[in-house]
Structure formats: C-alpha cells, structure tokens
Structure 1
Amino acid sequence: MNSETVAIPAGAITLAGDRYGDPNGAPVVFLHGGGQTRHSWASSARDLAGEGWQTLTVDLRGHGDSGWSPDGVYDLPQFAADVVAIADFLGRPPVLVGASLGGNAALSALGGDVELGLGLVLVDVSPFVQRTGTDRVREFMAANAETGFASLEEAADTIAAYQPHRKRPANLDGLRKNLRERDGRWYWHWDPAFLRGVSDDAVQRNRILDPVHLGAAAASLRIPTLLVRGGESDVISVEDSARFLRVVPHAEFASVGGAHHMVAGDDNAVFEDVLADFLDRRIRSRLDVFAEVDA
C-alpha cells in the first residue's frame, strides 16, 4: 500500500509523517522509540491500513526528517505538545500507539487532555521501568552519537552486538533510513542533544522518564488502553506491568513471548495480531456506537 508524505506544523518546527489508507478512516498514530524513526512502524501501519484504518507514522522532533528543537531542549512537555499537534492535524481523536519514548509522549499528552485520544497502546513502556534496562538503551545510543560510523557495515555490527537475539540483516539498505551520511561517515538520524533529555538526576521532572508525572497521567486515563510487554524485556518487568494495571484497572495487558524491548521489531506478526484484536474489540465497537448515535 502506498503512503502519502505529510508535514505537520508543531510550533517552531515541522514533523514529518507518512499516511496510509483511507484519509476518512479512523486514525491510528504510530510513535516510535527514542533514536528510531517513523520507518520502524511502516510495516504495521501498512498492514493495518489494509484493514480499513487510516494510519500515520510520525518522526518525533529531533528524529528522522522532523525538525530539531531550536533551543536543543527535548523534554516531555515538548514531545507531548507534538502529540497534540498531530491530533490537531488529523482533526479528530486518534488511537495512539507508542513505543518507549513515543509511549511516554502519548501518555503525557493524554494527561493534559483526556479527550485527545480514542485509545492508547503502550509498547514496552510505562511510568514504571527498570533502570538497568533504560541505562543500557541510553549507553547504546550515546556510544556513537558524536563519532558516527565509518560504514553501514560498522553500524550493523554495533546493532548486532546490542541485539544479539536478532539475526544480522544481509541487506543493509534499511539502515539508511536510520542513519545520515556526512563527510564520509554515518551518524544516527537524530539530534545528539536529545540525550540530554534523558537525565541521570534523581528527580526527573519533565524529563523523558518522569514517574510522578506519567503515573498521574496514567491514573487519569478513561479511554481503552493496552499495555504490551516484550516477554524478555529488561525495561519493563512483570512487576512494573502489574503496577501499571493497578493504576489503570480498565487497561488490558499482552505479553509477546520471546520479544525484547523493541517488541514489534522482534516479532511483528504477533504484535500486529495483538494490536488488531484490541482495535477491533475496543475501538471499532466504540466507533460503531458513535455512528448509531449520530444516525
């Protein structure tokens, strides 16, 4: 299925997105994790659009083809404001599907406006996380942020060492979407200043990891909510998941066995089945009720 590239105004910057499916269909917005781009969601967005949904993948600020923060600030209020801008662009509440950073951004935005979304899917992220896992992600991102790589092969080797459970791809063309070439070297396709948003401070107010703010946002949720955990995740534990479900008792939970933090990338087929089932049962049924009321 073909996509349409869209430009989304977000204050001083513009966000880049790809839209799939019927523009009149109910929207599902995919928000990637820190250090990734919208292309990490392309397969899921394309498949779901084939089921009648309008899907939109978006590069978060400082990532991919989206603008970089002019002041170099990347905090939860900034990312949450961008989610609001995406909803405004669509002109109707979307289902928000967010992995890691994208999930925090969506949850924070909903904490400010409970009517912003039609539903929420958090992919291996919650207000409650394991510091060892988040530290490992940050260390991987920081290792080559400034120096880059001499070649795509070197970048692929680094990723393979970080994700030994995945088979190293023979074709490296896909890496070009997550890297940019400059002066003969390859750099991650995100602003290095983004890492300053992931603070080592004991109190992380407004930072990417802000359990107090995100916990309060979670407690305010009233829309259909699904938490998806990678069965082998070192970022979200079983106990973290249970804690989230106590805060959001109406939420559903699914575990993708064998998947690590990047759930969709590890087992996209199972993840898509889980997502499609949730959307059909919890979202499509609500849309049908709204349609009957409007009629």
Structure 2
Amino acid sequence: MDSFASTRTTYCAADGVSLAVDVWRASGQPTLLFAHGFGQTRGAWNTAAATMAAQGYRCVSFDSRGHGESDRVPGGDYHMQQFVDDLLELARAQPEPPILVGASMGGLLGLVIAGETRPAPFRAMVLVDITPRWETAGVERILAFMQAHPDGFASYAEAAEQIAAYLPQRRERKSEQQLRPLLREGADGRLRWHWDPALLAGDLISESERYQPRLLAAAGQVDVPVLLLSGERSDVVSHRTVDEFMALVPHARHVQVPGASHMLAGDANDAFTAQIAGFIGGLQFSDAPVGAI
C-alpha cells in the first residue's frame, strides 16, 4: 500500500476560534472524521489515519479548541457546547457525511450530535472506549495526571519518564520528536503540556458530569450504525457501562480489544484499525463528490 502524509489546514469555527486540521488523501470514500479525547491532540490519530488513508479512505483529524495547535478561548471560558458545536460544524463542512471516530471526549460529543441532530451529520460512528456513563475512578486518574505537573518539565526525557509511569503497558518510551507536538516551551525554559490550563481550572469538568443525563437521552435516539470499541484493561469503560449502552443502542456492535487500556488506539493500533476497516467494510455507501476540507 502507498504511504500517505497529512496536509495541514485550518478551520474557523463560528465564534472565530481557529482549529488545526490534518487531511489524509484529498479524495477517497468514505471520509473518516477523527475526534480526540480530552487532553489529547490530533496527533493521537496519525498512525490510524495514515493506515486508513492507505486503504482508500479520506481521513480528517483536528485539535479541539484549547488543545494542540488550535486557538485557546479568550479568557479561558470553556463550555461543553463549544466542543459540540465545533464537531458539528466540521462534520457539516465535509463533502459528504463522515464516519466519526471519536475517542473518549470526542465520542461523547459525537453521541450528543448523533442523538439530537436530524438528519444526523454522521453516516456511522466508532466510539473508542467511551460510554454515556463512565467509571469515575478512571476519569479521575486521567485528570490527576493532567494536573500533576503544573510547573512542567526540565527536559523531554523527564516528560517521557512521567508518561511511561502513567502508561506502563507501553513498551517504548516516547522520543523527543514524538513529544514536541505535546509540549510547549515557556519563557522560563520549562516544557508544559499543549493544552490550555484553563481547561482544568474552569467549569468544564463539572459540566461533563452534568452532561450524563443528556448523553444517556441522546444515545437512545442514535439511529446510525455504531461500533463501540473498548479496551480490555480500561478503567473508564466497564462491563456495567457497556451493558447500559448496548441496552440504549441495541443495534450497536461491541468489540473488546485484548490487552488495550483506555488509550486504545495507541496501545493496539493494528487491532484498532482492523476493527474499523471491518466495520466500514460491512456498510453500504453511494458515490459522492469530494471537496477540499
């Protein structure tokens, strides 16, 4: 298969916030729209998107506002609806309704949109280790890691050591090249995470908890094909939360990926992309014109 590199572009949201976007393949069928989790960047999808592009799919990923190379919200006033609106706008900006591949926060945003919007802007969804109700302990572990180093790191090696401790299932430590998109050097020479600290300091986290009734209601209205991928070692998704989701979305398909944690795509990318390819291969699509975003 050919190898595909991404093309960098931007998308301006309705409120003026600029989002960093990567596109693999200017043309291809269907379009896969990748939405990352809280505290991640579009780079989390690089391997998966390149793999799927090599199979003929057009792939699009983006940094959520306040993450990576996308703009931060002036004054740090973040709200969940902003993230919902950004994803909905991007989906509608595609030349055809895309298949959403949403991890954690990205999957929750997709559920809200697919359940509340008619016609649904997605032709199908892949939810990556997330359900409308989650295990609080797992989410608290993620937030604790994000809050653990407010003063940053003295070197990339120090950051790699902390990531390795957080993700002990990964065999290889991240290299400086892999870490550069995840860290910003401050005026004091310290390296700090790419996300806006205001994401953790405001009301956004408490808002996500209050969203659960809305998420549960939206899930019950989803009428597009759904694949739920969960990690065998996940501490965010459990048998309990999966069973509840499957009762709400009985037409969904669930696959548990052996050995993977909540960071499923990074832990088991080959198995991850194989499941997506198999799911898409079972869907029927009609030809549609391809645009440039």
TM-score (norm 1): 0.90
- Report the alpha carbon displacement of residue 24 of structure 1 after superposing the two structures with TM: 5.2
**Which residue does the alignment assign to 1:164?**
168
**Which residue does the alignment assign to 2:199?**
194
Amino acid of the residue matched to residue 127 of structure 2? L
Moved more, 25-34 or 257-266: 25-34
CA contact (8 A) 1:8 1:89 kept: no
**Which residue does the alignment assign to 1:136?**
141
Residues 176-199 of structure 1, C-alpha deviations (whole Å, 9 max, x = no match) = 111111121111111111123553
Residues 117-148 of structure 1, C-alpha deviations (whole Å, 9 max, x = no match) = 1111110111111011000001001111x311
Taking the aligned partners of 2:82 and 2:114, their CA distance within structure 1 comes to 14
**Which residue does the alignment assign to 2:291?**
none
**Which residue does the alignment assign to 2:10?**
7
Amino acid of the residue matched to residue 130 of structure 1? E
Moved more, 224-233 or 66-75: 66-75
Moved more, 16-25 or 263-272: 16-25
Amino acid of the residue matched to residue 75 of structure 1? H
- Report the alpha carbon displacement of residue 211 of structure 1 after superposing the two structures with TM: 1.2
Taking the aligned partners of 1:35 and 1:228, their CA distance within structure 2 comes to 20
2:76 aligns to what SS in structure 1? coil
1:156 aligns to what SS in structure 2? helix
Taking the aligned partners of 1:173 and 1:209, their CA distance within structure 2 comes to 38
- Report the alpha carbon displacement of residue 68 of structure 1 after superposing the two structures with TM: 1.0
**Which residue does the alignment assign to 1:89?**
93
- Report the alpha carbon displacement of residue 210 of structure 1 after superposing the two structures with TM: 2.0
From 103, 108, 122, give the equivalent of 2:107: 103
1:55 aligns to what SS in structure 2? strand
Taking the aligned partners of 1:89 and 1:71, their CA distance within structure 2 comes to 27
Amino acid of the residue matched to residue 65 of structure 1? E
Percent of pairs with identical residues: 38
- Report the alpha carbon displacement of residue 103 of structure 1 after superposing the two structures with TM: 1.0
- Report the alpha carbon displacement of residue 170 of structure 1 after superposing the two structures with TM: 6.4
Q: Of the two structures, which has the highest relative contact order with CA contacts closer than 8 Å and spacing of 6 or more?
A: 2
**Which residue does the alignment assign to 2:31?**
27
Amino acid of the residue matched to residue 68 of structure 1? R
Amino acid of the residue matched to residue 272 of structure 1? T
Taking the aligned partners of 2:136 and 2:193, their CA distance within structure 1 comes to 23
**Which residue does the alignment assign to 1:147?**
151
Amino acid of the residue matched to residue 48 of structure 2? S
Unaligned runs of 5+ in 2: 289-293
- Report the alpha carbon displacement of residue 6 of structure 1 after superposing the two structures with TM: 1.5
**Which residue does the alignment assign to 1:66?**
70
- Report the alpha carbon displacement of residue 241 of structure 1 after superposing the two structures with TM: 0.6
**Which residue does the alignment assign to 1:277?**
278
- Alignment of structure 1 residues 256-267 onto 2, 5 Å: 256-267=257-268
- Report the alpha carbon displacement of residue 89 of structure 1 after superposing the two structures with TM: 2.1
Moved more, 133-142 or 82-91: 82-91
- Report the alpha carbon displacement of residue 98 of structure 1 after superposing the two structures with TM: 0.7
1:154 aligns to what SS in structure 2? helix
CA distance 1:248–1:150, shift in 2 (3 Å): same
**Which residue does the alignment assign to 1:116?**
121
- Report the alpha carbon displacement of residue 208 of structure 1 after superposing the two structures with TM: 6.3
TM-score (norm 2): 0.91
CA contact (8 A) 2:160 2:174 kept: no
CA contact (8 A) 1:29 1:97 kept: yes
Amino acid of the residue matched to residue 7 of structure 1? T
Taking the aligned partners of 2:177 and 2:66, their CA distance within structure 1 comes to 22
Unaligned runs of 5+ in 1: none
- Report the alpha carbon displacement of residue 155 of structure 1 after superposing the two structures with TM: 0.7
2:112 aligns to what SS in structure 1? helix
Taking the aligned partners of 1:73 and 1:227, their CA distance within structure 2 comes to 32
Amino acid of the residue matched to residue 246 of structure 2? L
- Report the alpha carbon displacement of residue 22 of structure 1 after superposing the two structures with TM: 3.5
